[in-house]
Amino acid sequence: MNNGSNHAVELGELADFLRSNPALGAKNEIKLVSDVLGAGSWVHGPGDDGAVVTARPGREQGASDADQVIACGEALLPAFVASDPYGAGVAAVLTNVNDLAAMGATPLAIVDTIVGTSELAREALRGMRDACGLYDVALVGGHLTLHDGAPAISAFGVGRAAAVLSTTNAAAGQSLIVAACTTGTMRSDFPFFSSLEARGTRMADDVRVLASVAASGACVAAKDVSIAGLVGSLAMLLEWSQLGVTLELDRLPCPVGQPMQAWLTCFPAYAFLLCSPPGREADCLSAFHARGLEAAVVGLIDESGLLKLRSGGRRATVIDLVASEVTGLAH
């Protein structure tokens, strides 16, 4: 749960800080996708980070007709690739695995594309290999171009879901749960909170918890906390239906010693927002607690369209999702 060192927060200033987060503002650039491709279902794409692909699963793999294929992809910032190709390789896998998990999928494979020098490519591939080992997912191939110009790394993931978690399933009356690994360290050069060293190969089953709670019905919608931060990712979760919630900061799982504004705007290696139907909260929470992960009910989804913060009886509004768009994706 939240730590005493994080309680001393001025909510108005915090709300202003979160509202002006450049990473949140950058999400509005995604509406270019709708400008070109038109409106999407947000299940079969474009919408959530991944999309359901209609495909009949192979019976030789023991899949049922109910299983659905999820596909997703990520591109890494060129500056990050150039400065830390190993870290970029790790991030390429991590982001895809989290996107798959957030849709209730068990990750199956990663495909990559790498453009850069031989030295950079080796480091990037080493990072991907190590991350795939942590997550127990296959690195099955991709594309490599060796040259001395600007580098680029992208990766693409595929998984299978028995029950799909989608932001379109979020509804008023559901409980908002945050599940996270709060053991780790924050990078000094980039707002990334890494739990990879602390959790090691336990990360493989950690991400697969989401497929479990999806299949049991204890969770119906989810979003991984990524570059937009916890509050920005929460705004994206609520955007489809213009829902609202009051985020209870005093209940929020948070690393010891981390300032609240840093935790709410960082990219954690493992942090998910989950919507649990009434009466299923304990089932959802226990699945994470059984693995030694933190999870807590931190709010109740409502129809206000307002994303608010509350701490010590005080409240502040971060964003009005009726009046403001986040990604701007059409549906």
Distance linking the first and last C-alpha atoms of the chain: 36
pLDDT at 13: 92
Alpha carbon distance 286, 183 (integer Å): 19
Alpha carbon distance 326, 331 (integer Å): 13
Q: Give pLDDT tens digits along the chain (331 positions).
A: 454 444 446 898 999 888 887 766 656 655 566 567 676 776 776 666 788 887 655 544 444 445 789 999 999 999 999 999 999 999 999 999 999 999 999 999 999 999 999 999 999 999 999 999 999 999 998 999 999 999 999 999 999 999 999 999 999 999 999 999 999 999 988 899 999 999 999 999 999 999 999 999 999 999 999 989 999 999 989 988 899 999 999 999 999 999 999 999 999 999 999 999 999 999 999 999 999 999 999 999 999 999 999 998 899 999 998 888 766 455 7
Determine how many CB atoms are found less than 10 A away from the CB of residue 198: 15
Tokens of 310: 């509350």
User: From the DSSP assignment, how many helices (H) and strands (E) are in the chain?
Assistant: 11, 15
Alpha carbon distance 167, 42 (integer Å): 8
Distance from chain centroid for Cα 263: 14
Per residue in 18-33, is it b (16+ CB within 10 Å) or e — as a string?
bbebebbeebeebeeb
Alpha carbon distance 13, 306 (integer Å): 17
Q: Tokens 């950690």 label which residue? A: 206
Pairing of strands 138-146, 106-116: parallel
Pairing of strands 175-180, 271-276: antiparallel
Strand, helix or coil at 80? helix
The pTM of this model reads 0.90
Alpha carbon distance 307, 232 (integer Å): 10
